[in-house]
Every structure is written in C-alpha cells, then in structure tokens.
Amino acid sequence: MPAFMFRLEKMFVQFQRGKNPDVDLITFGVVSNGAEQGHVGAFTGLLHTGDTLAFTFPPTTPPGKWGTWEVGPMRVAPDQIVSVKYAGVNSSDPTDGGLSAEDQAKIAGTVWTGLVGISFVAAGAPEVLTAIGAAFGAALTEIFGDLVSQPRCNGSVFADSIDFSGADLARQTAASGSFSVTKSYTDDGSHPSECGHIAQTDVTFSVRTVQESLRQFFGSRFDLTQGLRKFFPGATSVRALFEG
C-alpha cells in the first residue's frame, strides 16, 4: 500500500482582505475516515495585494512533525478517502494588547476544529468561508471581548476540503511521483466596504509519494548515484570505512 506526503506550497494574494496589510492565520492538514492525520499552522507576516507567499517558514501552531508544511507519510488504500483541508483568515485589525503565542494557538485550534467539523457540500462554497469566519470571530471574542476594532476587516480569506481516493493519489503520482493542485478563492464579502476589495487568493498544495520525498530530500544534499565512493574514495565497503 503506497504512502504519501501532503504539503502546502504557496499562496498568491490577488487582493488582500483588510484595509491594512493582511496578517493571515494559515492552517493545513489531512483527515481520513473521520480521523485527523496531522495538521500544521502559523500566522504570516504582512501580506499585500500582489504578494506571493511560499511556505518555506516553519509552522508554529502546532510546530509540525517535520518542521515543514508537510503532513504524512500516510499509507492510503485504493478505496480510502483522504480529505486535504486548509483555511486562511485575516487577523490584521488592531486589537488592544495584540495576540500572544497562547492566543494564537487558541485561535489556530479553533479554526482547525471548525474546518474539520464542516460538511463540505461544495468545495470552496461561500457557506464554508462564512463558517470559518464565524469560528475565527468566536475565538477573537473569547480573547478580547468587545475590544476587537471596527471596522472588522478580520475574517475568512479562503477555506477548502478536497477529497482524493487512494486510487486517485496513485494514478496522479504514477508518472513523476508527485502532483500539485492550485485553486482560486474569493472571500465571503462579509467585511464592510471601507475595508477595501474583497479578498482573492490562489492556493497551491502538492501530494507526493514517500519514495519521491526521500529522493528529493537526499538529492538536495547528496548525489548518491556512486554510493560511498562518491564521498569516501578510498573506502571499498562500509567495513573498510570504519576500519580505515
């Protein structure tokens, strides 16, 4: 049974959501058979219209098993359904006292729980964004009460859940060991008009086989085509390496 890694790659901000530059909470994870297989998240720096954000910085809420935006490896049977879930919410509206690391973790957990619990009637549907925005707003209200500033430009930027069967994953990774998906999102438009243009965002994630991930990992550091002789020319075997 093949195993796969799931990775959030990048996002392109066609239009930011807030009047100020956006600061987005991003969360990304995988669910299968009703059980979470892992998730990662972080708050971004300032995002402006036209920015591309590559997810090369480490996730922090939670930190993640690999220190990257990857979830897995996960073995998937041909008839097993895997849901890749992700969301982004803007938190750039100023709040008295700011957001502590504990507050950020609480918000991230609330948004991810809401994302897992949503039944996705249609991928990227407006009601999905509304639900994620409500979960985020509830978390902010719990932390700050009525101190959240007006106008409220905070809220959902994108959210989705995309299903694959194990057979789908095997077919799409058969040729090169990986594939990527890019989707475009428009926010729910719930913020006041003075907040600016409705957010529009392109999000890219990838899926790869574990074998491809390991090959890429080692390939970025070593050329293993010549084995140990490449690095230790005088060694004819592992034993000789330690005895030499």
Task: Tell me the per-residue pLDDT of 25-48, one tens digit each, with 9 for 90 and over.
Answer: 999 999 998 789 999 999 999 999
Is the confidence at residue 81, as pLDDT, over 60? Answer: yes
Is the confidence at residue 200, as pLDDT, over 80? Answer: yes
What the block records as the tokens of 74 is: 């996960």
Summarize the confidence of residues 130-134 as an average pLDDT.
Answer: 73
Helices (H), the chain: 101-117, 126-144, 166-173, 210-219, 238-243
Q: What residues does 184 pair with on adjacent strands?
A: 202
CA-to-CA separations, 44 to 90, 107, 191, 225, in angstroms, rounded? 9, 14, 20, 39
At residue 126, the pLDDT reads: 61
pTM of this structure: 0.79
* Domains, the chain, with CATH or none: 3-243 (2.60.40.150)
- The lowest-confidence range among 55-64, 170-179, 199-208, 213-222 is 213-222
Residues in CB range of 76: below 8 A, 6 or more apart? 1, 2, 3, 4, 32, 82, 166, 169
At residue 94, the pLDDT reads: 62
pLDDT tens sequence across 201-214: 999 999 999 864 44
CA-to-CA separations, 157 to 11, 15, 37, 42, 163, in angstroms, rounded? 11, 10, 24, 15, 21
Tell me which of 35 and 215 has the higher pLDDT: 35
One-letter amino acid identity for 76?
Answer: V
Tell me which of 93 and 96 has the higher pLDDT: 93
CA distance 244 to 232: 11
pLDDT tens sequence across 222-231: 444 444 444 4
